[in-house]
Chains A and B, each alone.
Chain A
Amino acid sequence: MKEFRYIHGVSSLCLDQSLCIGCKMCSRVCPQAVFSHQGGKAAIQDHDGCMECGACGVNCPVGAVSVNPGVG
């Protein structure tokens, strides 16, 4: 969410671009517009916007995204 920003640099969101097949599912489920897509791959464009809801993680068909709040 652009008008509200929360604590900087703490989200556990991780993306492994080498696994990504560019299906854009992560963007479709993300309520915070965290991802962008270039050249057939997803990229994290707003890491601090992530609220760790986990939707991208469970919906990425190839397991390229992970979200583990409470770990690390």
Chain B
Amino acid sequence: MVATSRSVYDWAGAAAARLGLNRDSYLVAPGLYAIGAPDRAAPVLVTANYKLSFDTLRFALPGLNVWLLVLDTCGINVWCAAGKGTFGTEELVHRVKASGLEKLVDHRRLVVPQLGATGVSAHQVKKQSGFSVQYGPIRASDISTWLDNGAREFEGMRDVTFTLKERSELIPVEFHLVLKSMWWLFPLLFLLSGIGPDLAFTSRLMSRGVWMVSALLIGIGSGLILVPLLLPWLPGRSFALKGAIAGLLSGLLLLFWAETGLNLLESGALLALVVVMSSYLGMNFTGSTPYTSPSGVEWEMRRAIPVQFCLSIGALLIWVGAPLVLS
């Protein structure tokens, strides 16, 4: 028996798992679970042993009596695990056999989430286990309705969405990952801003250093917050371009709005850094969307990375050189 209502601990756990904390305690033991009181005709739903997938599914099933077959995906969600092949034909066939499912139910059907289809080959599963695979709805919240309607499809059930809410939910995770890998840029660029022809190191830190750190923050914010939120309205198809445009707008806003006291060269360098940062992080976001193809990502990376690289080197040289040249 598994509870189908959400407790405070589940919410806290979901938040922690999203932030990437304590991942190991969010595994569910693989195997067969009974939800409610399933009988020999009850449907068998397949899911991953990622606690969020498991929870989303079990809370979407109040009052239903079903079997839940949990695959061992090393605690990774269905979509990612299917891409890696851990949520796949082999593991599914193995779990079906290991759980003795055929002795518990009379039918020979498995309901696999549609997003798992990337790793599961329906005809292979049928051949190897005797069970036929039905692909269920993308959203767990549609499962009850889908089962109630005799597993018949309805409009919109098979299409992935990427709503404002879904996009904004990705922001904290991205922030966490980016700060973890890029925090060193802050002290490094802050200190670099202090270099100059004389001993006024601290006074340059207080002016140039502070603006550099603000520019970094704005570049990161632009790529990590503006790009996901404004995704449909930012022009262009490539994320590098969307990011660059968002960065240009927020960078210009910073320069016009704040009394930076910087000269034209320095302002230009700062603006370029905001644009590069935002463009790079925007491109990074392709990994989190449900519609970007690997070939497309490669296409834009091949074009954008050289430009981003040259622009950031140039901007840094100008930034560090400006006090020396202009003094």
Shortest CB-to-CB span from A58 to chain B, Å, is 4
Interface flags for B222-264 (1: CB within 8 Å of A; 0: not) read 0000000001100001100000000000000000000000000
Q: Give me 5 other A-B pairs in contact (C-beta within 8 A), A1-B160, A51-B291 excluded.
A: A6-B291, A29-B135, A31-B114, A52-B294, A53-B118
Q: Closest chain A residue to B89 by CB distance?
A: A58
In chain A between 16 and 72, which residues have their CB closer than 8 angstroms to a CB of chain B?
A: 25, 27-33, 49-55, 58-59, 61, 69-70
**C-alpha spacing A5/B158, complex, angstroms:** 18
The majority secondary structure among interface residues of chain B is: loop
Mask: chain B, 150-180; 1 = CB below 8 Å from A; 0 = not: 0000000011111000000000000000000
Chain A residues within 8 Å of B83, by CB: 53
User: At the interface, yes or no: B20 with Cβ under 8 Å from chain A?
Assistant: no
**B309: interface (CB < 8 Å):** no
How big is the B interface, by class?
20 to 34
Give me 19 A-to-B residue pairs in the complex whose CB atoms sit less than 8 angstroms apart, sorted by A's number. A4-B162, A5-B237, A7-B237, A7-B238, A7-B293, A7-B299, A8-B237, A11-B295, A28-B114, A29-B135, A31-B159, A32-B159, A50-B293, A51-B290, A53-B118, A58-B117, A58-B120, A59-B121, A59-B123
B123's nearest neighbour on chain A, judged by CB, is: A61
Report which B residues bind A (CB closer than 8 A). Answer: 83, 89, 114-115, 117-123, 135, 138, 158-162, 231-232, 237-238, 289-296, 298-300
Q: Looking at the complex, which one of B114, B115, B291, B295 makes contact with A4 (CB distance below 8 Å)?
A: B291
> Shortest 5 CB-CB distances between A and B: which pairs?
A7-B296, A69-B294, A29-B117, A55-B117, A52-B293
